[in-house]
Structure 1
C-alpha cells in the first residue's frame, strides 16, 4: 500500500465517510436523530448509502473507461466492460432499500473482478488492486451492516 499516491489514499479514504456515516446513523439513534433534524432523511441509512453507493459505482465505470484508453489491442473490449458498473446501477439499483443494497454490494464485488482484469492487462497502476480491495471491503461491510444488521 506504500505505492499508493498520498492524494489518492487520502481521497479514497475520505470517500468512505458517507458509508461510515450511514452505518453510524443505522446503529446510533443519536446520530440518526441529529442528522434527521439538521440534514434530513437523505443523509441517514439506508438512503445515504444507496445514493452515494450508486454514484460511486457509476463513477468507477468512468475510471475504468480511462484505463481502457490505455489499451493497445482490443480496446473496444475494455471500453465495453468499463460501462458495466454504470449499467449495473441503472438496471438493478432502485427497487427497494434491501434489494438495492444487495445489488450495490454485489456490484462492488463484481467491480473487483473488472479491476483485476484491467490490472492483469497492465492498464491500471500496480497499486490499484490492493487499494481497491481495501476500499471494497469497507464499502461492502458498510452495506451489509445496514442491510442485515
Structure 2
C-alpha cells in the first residue's frame, strides 16, 4: 500500500493518503473508541444514580477523567487521519544493528535480537523518538543512505518510509 505512486506523492507533499488511514484507525483505535463509549455510558449511569456528592467525587469524576483521556487519544488519531499534515524527517540512516540507538544520525535503525521469551524486533529513531518498525516499512528503508521518515504529528505514529 505504501509503495503505490499516488501514496508516495501525497506523502512527499506532507499529506496522508486516504489509503493510509487504516494505519492510524487500526484495532488499537477502535478498542480505545469502545472504551470511550463504555466509559461514557457508565459515567452517565453512575451520575444518575449517585445520591451524594461524595459518590460523584469518588466515582464519577475519576471515571470521567479516565474516559476523557481515552477520548483525547482517539481525537489525536482522528485529527491525523482526516486532515493532519505529516512530519517528515529526512537524513542519513545509520544501522546501529543491536547497539544502543543514539541521536548521532537523523535516522537510526535498531535490531533487538531474539532472546528468551522474545522475538526479534526492529525499531527506528527519528526526531528524538523511537518507533517500532513493522516488516513492511523495514523492507522499504535503506540503511547507510538518505531516507525520509513520515510521522503523524499528534498520534506520534510512523506512517511511511521513503528512500530519498
Greater percentage in strand? 2
Higher RCO (CA 8 Å, separation ≥ 6 residues): 1
| TM-score using structure 1 length | 0.29
| TM-score using structure 2 length | 0.27
Greater percentage in helix? 1
Larger radius of gyration between Structure 1 and Structure 2: 2
